[in-house]
């Protein structure tokens, strides 16, 4: 790449960063000014957005990798007294597989394991994350530990995990804990925090908080180059390792402004990984890497905005446990998969230099059933990485809409179907789906009538470019289209 092109590309990315930050600030101020007064809490808002999904019980048709299946589904959210919550997600497919008619689970897998049956329970929860006692079993989405430098937006991808928060009533001492899968736990850990200066009705600066985090994956995948292939066909393959992936972090944060409506914090995190990952994906578990992040966070009613400046060693992966971690881990463990996912966003070697750049995030829930989540990461020697999520139910009468999209290495070169190398622009590559850097879930529903009792009947279509585990626990790419009609369960 010529020096002129490199400078132009850097200028364009800087402009993107500035535009993104301006957009986030404008949206957060606009929405927050329209909302009613209530105490702002980041984890509570993530929880509300994660559960923001009206269920549908009825019949339909699913097409998975070109094969049609008759579909029955039950997704009720069951009201329980007090702080309890309970939701089901039971999907049964009937169709031909391997030459015979079979009754299968949601993604075409057989009903032959405990974890498959456990998926029928979407969640059981008690309380909210900000309560002294919070417990959630089941599907985990948008899990963030601490400020999110090690784990943020994590999803266990339909496994049945556990999340637990405990704190003294005074909130001086507490903990956050997470387990990805109670049937076969492999990712677990948590954070201890303390606010030693805190006093009831004391000034906001007494909320100075210290935290220490430990998270591990005891069954990580170490990527090595496949030496058995010809030179022009070499690729990275996954191999198991007996060494766990371990992440240790310390953090400090203090509010700089706080009242009943708005809170603003500044914070700093230091994290260490017992792993170094190259730009091609190879992982070295003999080398320790580290990174630091300093940021500012604004918590407004139904709105979170934060931006961080990050500096880290070559080979360090910030927020390693994110919404793509389980996907990457599962897919690379399939040695037969030649189209491995690449959600890291790293393309170029930095030749031993530290990487630095910005991470920004905005989460807005302006109305009860409308939410937007967006993140952008952009570091030197990398291409940008973006995640977008939009959910709407009822803002437009009778219409519901849900879309989640992630894209890494935006603007990076790729090989087209004819074998030619293409160097797309940022915006050209942003919504190009046919590659290993993208995942999309899109669902549109419309209420066609209402039955006695006020229950609407909805028809919906679901289109998915995603990754799910098969019977052996290996993630595989799935292109799925589903059509459904049924009774819609509204969210209270």
> If we measure between CA atoms, which residue out of 179, 211, 181 comes closest to residue 196?
211
Q: 225 pLDDT exceeds 70?
A: no
- Provide the H-helix boundaries in 129-276: none
Q: Summarize pLDDT for 202-223 with one digit per residue, the tens.
A: 777 788 999 999 999 998 865 5
> If we measure between CA atoms, which residue out of 345, 341, 342, 365 comes closest to residue 355?
345
For residues 452 and 457, what is the distance between their CA atoms, to the nearest angstrom?
A: 11
For the chain, give the percent of residues with pLDDT over 70.
Answer: 73
| pTM as predicted | 0.73
User: Residue 399's pLDDT is what?
Assistant: 85
What is the residue range of 357's domain? 3-489
First to last CA, the chain: 55
Q: 340 pLDDT exceeds 50?
A: no
User: Residue 352's pLDDT is what?
Assistant: 58
CA-atom Rg of the chain in angstroms: 23
Q: 227 pLDDT exceeds 50?
A: no
CA-to-CA dists, residue 378 to 12, 144, 359, angstroms: 12, 20, 7
Answer whether 128's CB lies under 8 Å from 44's CB: yes
User: Residue 389's pLDDT is what?
Assistant: 85
Q: What is the 3-state secondary structure (H, E, C) of 315-343?
A: CCCCCCECCCHHHHHHHHCCCCCCCCCCC
For residues 308 and 326, what is the distance between their CA atoms, to the nearest angstrom?
A: 24
For residues 172 and 193, what is the distance between their CA atoms, to the nearest angstrom?
A: 8
227-259 burial string, b = 16+ CB within 10 Å, else e?
Answer: eeeeeeeeebbbeebeeebbbbbebebbbeebe
> If we measure between CA atoms, which residue out of 8, 11, 20 comes closest to residue 305?
20
Q: 154 pLDDT exceeds 60?
A: yes
How many folded domains does the chain comprise? Answer: 1
User: Residue 233's pLDDT is what?
Assistant: 38
Q: Which has more pLDDT, 358 or 70?
A: 358
CA-to-CA dists, residue 237 to 71, 94, 329, 339, 354, angstroms: 35, 35, 11, 11, 27
Instruction: Report the DSSP pairing between strands 133-138 and 90-97.
Output: unpaired
Answer whether 239's CB lies under 8 Å from 264's CB: no
Q: Summarize pLDDT for 105-147 with one digit per residue, the tens.
A: 877 778 887 777 877 888 888 988 888 899 999 888 888 999 9
Average pLDDT over residues 68-86: 80
Answer whether 377's CB lies under 8 Å from 59's CB: no
Name the β-bridge partners of 273. Answer: 247, 289
Beta-carbon contacts of 251 under 8 Å, excluding residues fewer than 6 positions away, are 146, 147, 149, 210, 211, 212, 213, 267, 268, 269, 270
Q: How far is CA 425 from the centre of its chain?
A: 25
For residues 462 and 403, what is the distance between their CA atoms, to the nearest angstrom?
A: 10
Q: Summarize pLDDT for 395-422 with one digit per residue, the tens.
A: 788 888 888 888 877 777 777 767 778 8
330-347 burial string, b = 16+ CB within 10 Å, else e?
Answer: bbbbbeebeebbbbbbbb
């Amino acid at each position: 790449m010529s020096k002129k092109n490199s400078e132009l590309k850097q200028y364009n990315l800087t402009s993107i960063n500035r535009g993104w930050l301006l957009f986030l600030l404008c949206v957060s101020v606009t929405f927050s000014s329209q909302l009613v007064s209530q105490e702002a809490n980041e984890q509570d808002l993530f929880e509300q957005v994660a559960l923001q999904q009206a269920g549908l019980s009825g019949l339909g048709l699913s097409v998975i990798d070109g094969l049609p299946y008759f579909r029955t589904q039950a997704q009720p959210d069951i009201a329980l007294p007090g702080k309890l919550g309970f939701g089901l997600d039971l999907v049964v497919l009937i169709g031909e597989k391997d030459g015979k008619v079979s009754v299968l689970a949601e993604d075409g897998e057989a009903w032959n394991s405990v974890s498959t049956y456990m998926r029928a329970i979407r969640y059981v929860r008690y309380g909210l994350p900000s309560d002294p006692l919070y417990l959630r079993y089941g599907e985990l989405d948008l899990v963030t530990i601490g400020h999110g430098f090690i784990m943020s937006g994590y999803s266990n991808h339909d496994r049945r995990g556990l999340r637990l928060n405990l704190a003294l009533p005074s909130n001086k001492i507490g903990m956050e804990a997470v387990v990805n899968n109670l049937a076969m736990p492999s990712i677990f850990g948590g954070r201890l925090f303390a606010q030693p200066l805190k006093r009831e009705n004391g000034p906001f600066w007494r909320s100075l908080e210290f935290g220490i985090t430990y998270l591990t994956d005891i069954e990580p995948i170490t990527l090595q180059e496949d030496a058995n292939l010809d030179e022009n066909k070499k690729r990275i393959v996954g191999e198991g390792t007996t060494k766990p992936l371990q992440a240790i972090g310390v953090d400090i944060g203090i509010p700089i402004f706080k009242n009943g409506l708005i809170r603003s914090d500044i914070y700093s995190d230091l994290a260490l990984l017992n792993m170094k990952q190259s730009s091609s994906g190879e992982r070295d578990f003999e080398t320790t890497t580290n990174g630091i992040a300093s940021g500012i966070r604004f918590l407004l009613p139904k709105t979170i905005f934060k931006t961080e400046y990050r500096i880290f060693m070559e080979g360090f992966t910030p927020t390693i446990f994110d919404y793509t971690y389980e996907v990457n881990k599962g897919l690379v463990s399939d040695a037969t998969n030649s189209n491995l996912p690449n959600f890291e966003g790293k393309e170029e070697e930095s030749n031993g230099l530290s990487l630095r750049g910005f991470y920004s995030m905005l989460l807005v829930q302006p109305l009860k059933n409308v939410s937007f989540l967006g993140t952008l990461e952009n570091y030197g020697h990398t291409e940008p990485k973006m995640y977008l999520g939009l959910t709407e139910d009822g803002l437009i009468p009778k219409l519901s809409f849900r879309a989640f999209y992630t894209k890494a290495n935006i603007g990076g070169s790729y090989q087209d179907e004819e074998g030619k190398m293409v160097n797309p622009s940022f915006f050209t590559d942003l919504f190009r789906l046919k590659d290993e850097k993208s995942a999309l879930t899109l669902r549109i529903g419309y209420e066609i009538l209402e039955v006695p009792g006020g229950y609407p009947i909805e028809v919906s279509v679901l289109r998915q470019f995603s990754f799910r585990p098969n019977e052996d626990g290996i993630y595989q790419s799935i292109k799925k289209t589903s059509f459904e009609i049924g009774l819609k369960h509204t969210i209270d």
